[in-house]
Amino acid sequence: MLEPIHVMMYRDTSMNLPTEISNHLDELRVLAVDCGIRSVSVIGSACTDAFDPIRSDLDLLVDFGDYTDDLGARMLRFSADAQRIFGRHVDVMSQHGIRNKTWQAIHAACQVPVYAAA
């Protein structure tokens, strides 16, 4: 017998993110500028009705920009500071690191952009 498929209902991107996330977006944007990041989008459960304010982590899809010598340091700083800002575990995924076309399509359709460099 086949296992049931769990389908998550994604929020319309025009809807608000959970307040536990939206209350800290200004701090996240400042961090993104400081780390030389091109864009940040919220993905995962925070974009769905499955988000649990107490237990859910936060998933961010990030374009780190140019692959310069300091990329590793920028990635580590962004991840650590994002966890401090949100007070929860934050999974940071590089937009350029997702090579599987299916995952690229899923993330493109189910993300809420929160920062884009000018």
Q: Does domain 19-116 have CATH number 3.40.50.300?
A: no
Q: Please state, in angstroms and rounded to a whole number, the distance separating the CA atoms of residues 47 and 111.
A: 7
Taking only the tens place, the pLDDT of each residue in 17-40 is 999 999 999 999 999 999 999 999
Q: Look up the pTM and report it.
A: 0.82
Output the CA–CA distances (angstroms, integers) from residue 68 to 6, 29, 30, 36, 37, in the order listed. 40, 21, 20, 11, 12
Residue positions counted in the chain: 118
Q: What is the crossing angle of helices 71-86 and 25-34, to 10°?
A: 170
Taking only the tens place, the pLDDT of each residue in 62-85 is 999 888 899 999 999 999 999 999
Taking only the tens place, the pLDDT of each residue in 98-109 is 788 877 777 777
Domain boundaries, the chain: 19-116
The tokens describing 24, both together, are: 């800290």
